[in-house]
A and B are shown apart, each in its own frame.
Chain A
Amino acid sequence: MLAWTIYLSFAGALVLVLLPKSRPALSRWFALAIAVAGLAVALQSFAAGMGQGRTILVDLPWVPAMGIHFLLAADGISRVLVLLTGLAAVAGILFSWDIELRTNEFFAFFLALIGGVYGVFLSFDLFLLFVFYEIAIVPKYFLIAIWGSTRREYAAMKLALYSFVGSAMVLIGLLAAYATAGSHSTSLIALGHAYLPVSFQMWCFPLVFVGFGILAGMWPFHTWAPTGHVAAPTAASMLLAGVVMKLGAYGCLRVGIALFPHGLDPWGFSLAGVGSWRDVFALLAVIGIVYGALVALVQTDFKFVIGYSSVSHMGFVLLGLMTLNQIGMTGAVLQMFSHGIVAGLLFAIVGRIVYSRTHTRQLAELEPMHLSKRLPFAAGAFVVAGMASMGLPGFSGFVAELQVLIGAWQVNPWWVAAAGVGIAVGIAYTWRAMQKAFFSDNLPHARELVHENGHHLAPITWPEVTGVTLLASVSLAVGLYPRILLDTIEPAVKTLLAGGGQ
């Protein structure tokens, strides 16, 4: 059943290309219907899969000579991320309701991207996973290059190049693993049982991990992320930050850690307290958390604030993965989901609700506009999204970060101390952006500028209200009752740790 998310999305993309250009409304409604159908399938499978382990969805021989199968399967981690993708897809389409330029093509690329993402999360064959991973890069490029804004060609090219470099590293690692294992199958399940020498894992693990980590926004390979997020049209930023970055993190977990567990073993010597790849990547994660937050604090462009905040929040995912314990890794997966929802919401508010009306994203220019009065809905939505992003309790981010920190505390308290600084700065930058964009005190200056910009701001539309409500209530629901997701994630993480942990 879950496999239909992939088929539906690609079929939808194909139909959209064939739809007439002259009828944008038709394309919109059709795309929305496809996305909602995908979400419905994801939800149904999520509910049905509760308490179940890994289920094989499809297993067909594809290139039998090389042992390549069209193997789709789902465990708790996949189900949660597929659900996230479904939600992001629906919300993304709702927030793209105002796209008038080549509407059908836009939604075709959008659905193709979604299909690729679904594919990655459900592939249990390395080759298949890689194919979907590559498929996802192409529509991203076009979405930014055609419908993007600020320096879109540059950003699109940068994003594509970074992605391809990462993919190349992953590909080398995977081919080497396939050859070394002497396996006749590229199935992740079979390779997980194959013997890979520790010395091999030691060099192959960092290659694969960094390869995927690039897409997860790992510092210092994160620079594509802010520029890409900013240049992308709103829906694409939502997907980039919301789900594409999770592809990277998912790869780190599903392929990197699960296939090469010994790559994380100590080297036997230590340099300045760093004695294993685990320490190295945890350090990079912590630097990412703090660096992303500090850079977000000084941005003048509203969208860049959110862009860098993604780097910081994804640092928590990588840190959680490096704890290698149940609680920290569960937190990492939950943070993937949470950040997907919250970052999507933030980009929607900044890119769609605010920018499409004010035509500026400069905080200094937004300051005198009195948006809390003129766009109270946007202000209210940003307050909620900001609280979720700050990690206030009651929202999904709190539980996720709490788990990552608890997991990290069991391994190395210094990681927690540094991440704590990141949280404090995170509160500060969200705060600063909220103050400047919506609740500025610059009153005396305001009157003249408001006059100048006195043109009427278009009223909020129903797709915007629906999208905001959808994402905000999901974050709130997970924050108040995290077991909705934890009960599914925890057993999967346990299996993964037991299977590859020793």
Chain B
Amino acid sequence: MSGFSSEIPILTLLTVLPLVGAALALFSGKHARAVALLTTLASLSLALVAWFHIPANGTIGLIEQHAWAPSIGIEYHLGVDGLGALMLVLSAIVTLMSVDASSRVHHQPNLYFALVLLLEAGLFGSFTALNFFHWFLFWEISLIPAFFLIKLWGGAKRGPAATQFFVYTMAGSVALLLAFLAVFVATGSMDFPHLTLLASTGELQQMVTAHLGPVTLLLAIGVLAGFAVKVPIAPFHTWLPAAYAEAPSPVTMLLTGAMSKMGVYGLLRIALPIFGAQISQIRTPLLVLAVITVVMGAWAAVAQKDLKRVFAYSSVNHLGYCVLAIFALAVPTAAGDAPMHASQAAALNGVILQMFNHGITAAALFWFIAMLQQRSGGARGIDDFGGLRKPAPVFAGLMGIALFSSLGLPGLNGFVGEFLIFRGVFPLAWVAATVSILGLLVTAAVILTVIQKVFAGPVPERLATFPDLHHGERMALAPVIGLMLLIGLLPQLIVDSVNPTVLNLLAHWRF
């Protein structure tokens, strides 16, 4: 593989840092939040270092490769390209936001922040791993803290919500594990780049068929199921609203901002490269599921009264666009078909941007909900508020920016990804794209309704003294809102680094 190895194992350091932070937080009692803040700040710096050191040609860099358990194909193999590095930065930002937002954890703060940092380590590990075992280790590691964060700090119905979340994800994991066992038995490898190579020449399918019979499609479905739960894709999404609603809002920020990206990332790093041909085979039913995810997510958001559930379903909708584009671009194209290649590239660029932007925006929205709850004594129903722009103009203004970013207003970050996705998907799957437009419209309606009901109209008496954002909160939110504007106005900051990776990925995928 091309790329360069660095002298300093940045990616290993990045993964170990939050683990050390977690151990420190566990034993630092009331100062756990300070430890967590320092750790997440340091992690963000390291993630940015990684982002600025990826190879310019879009290949995987910062590679670390050591023997681990060679007899069963387990290798310590790390590396990132534009996609992986962007996810590292996103995870680091979202975790920092989440720690920032967790200012009111009174119950066992040391355990809480240790679990948050453990979750961050899981994210970093899974976004850098290039070997199935290594990846699966961190994929599962992230599940445990997420479960306990919901279970121990969640709302009234946290028990069932946590259990449902765990059971769904675990079932998906078992499917993934069995599928990769089969792949290992057939190929003797668990290395993603190597398997991608085998898949691109068609050898993978031959080897699987020779060893295990015609089951490649079945394996692809197993892998897809594992990721479908995590993203989620309908009909595997039913765990999500309860989990997002019952989790404390800072944890929901992590779930939607970063963890859901593990699923999309898995589709891009694992499912498409290794099972591209099989996905292309069942592309139509998959597109149907993607469209259902988009439209259902949007419609379900309309029907919700709880703000957290509104944004939970709108997250389903937003990630549905990613899934739509991923399945749409899985078509075999002729070598010289430049327009098709351009569409695929646009769609994939859109997916990666959308992952990042949705992460930032959704995390910000749940942060605002956390502040709403703090100020209103726990209320978070869409009808519990009104006219907030009068007592709290800054609050209304900043949350308004986040809401419009979620809506996809040009000039804000949310627009670029969705635009590129639709630019790519229309030529590739115009029916699916057309139906999905419905999702865009309904989402716009949902968000405008939220704005109207919460910020406009008469102020209820009990909210007359609703406090505006204080200085500290403004300082904490400013960089996030600034980032939304910056990417909205200068998307090339990300696209310039991601586009080479997109071209490189597409060149190695075979549908």
Chain A residues near B (Cβ < 8 Å) = 326-327, 330, 372, 383, 387, 392-394, 399, 402-403, 405-406, 409-410, 413, 416, 420, 423-424, 427, 431, 435, 439, 441, 481-483, 486, 490
Contacts and interface: CB of A to CB of B under 8 A. Distances in A.
Nearest to A423: B174
Nearest to B188: A406
A52 to B, nearest CB: 18
Contact of A402 (B72, B140, B152, B160): B72
Given A405-B181, A439-B151, A481-B69, 19 more contacts: A326-B71, A327-B72, A372-B152, A383-B148, A387-B144, A393-B141, A403-B72, A406-B184, A409-B181, A409-B182, A409-B185, A416-B181, A420-B178, A482-B69, A482-B74, A483-B67, A483-B68, A483-B69, A486-B71
B171 interface: yes
Given A327-B72, A399-B69, A393 B178 contact: no
A451 B136 CA distance: 44
A263 to B, nearest CB: 26
Q: Which 7 A-B pairs have the closest CB atoms?
A: A441-B159, A393-B137, A409-B185, A482-B69, A392-B140, A394-B137, A393-B136
Given A399-B72, A406-B185, A424-B174, A431 B166 contact: yes
A215 B98 CA distance: 52
Query: DSSP class of B's interface residues: helix, strand, loop or mixed?
Result: helix
A319 to B, nearest CB: 14
Contacts, number: 64
A469 to B, nearest CB: 14
Contact of B181 (A387, A393, A406, A441): A406
Contacts of A431: 163, 166-167
Contacts of B178: 416, 420
A486 B73 CA distance: 13
Contact of A393 (B133, B163, B167, B182): B133
B222 to A, nearest CB: 11
Interface string B127-159: 000000100110011001000100110000001
A402 B68 contact: no
Nearest to A390: B170
Given A327-B71, A483-B69, A486-B69, A427 B170 contact: yes
Contacts of A403: 72
Interface of B: 67-69, 71-72, 74, 133, 136-137, 140-141, 144, 148, 151-152, 159-160, 163, 166-167, 170-171, 174, 178, 181-182, 184-185, 212
Nearest to B144: A387
A479 B244 CA distance: 32
A327 B73 CA distance: 11
Given A393-B140, A441-B159, A410 B185 contact: yes
Given A486-B69, A486-B71, A424 B171 contact: yes
Contacts of A405: 181
20 contacts: A327-B71, A330-B71, A372-B152, A392-B144, A394-B140, A399-B74, A406-B72, A409-B212, A410-B185, A413-B182, A420-B174, A423-B174, A431-B163, A439-B151, A439-B159, A441-B159, A482-B69, A483-B68, A486-B69, A490-B71
B68 A481 contact: yes
Nearest to A393: B137
A409 B72 CA distance: 13
A286 to B, nearest CB: 15
Contacts of B160: 441
A381 to B, nearest CB: 14
B165 to A, nearest CB: 12
Nearest to B108: A376
Contacts of A439: 151, 159
A322 to B, nearest CB: 16
Contacts of A490: 71
Contacts of B140: 392-394
Contacts of B212: 409, 413
Contacts of B185: 406, 409-410
Among A402, A416, A435, A482, max chain B CB count under 10 A is at: A402
A406 B136 CA distance: 16
Contacts of A435: 163
Nearest to A331: B72
A403 B72 CA distance: 7
A416 B136 CA distance: 19
Contacts of A416: 178, 181
Contacts of B152: 372
A206 B400 CA distance: 75
A95 B163 CA distance: 32
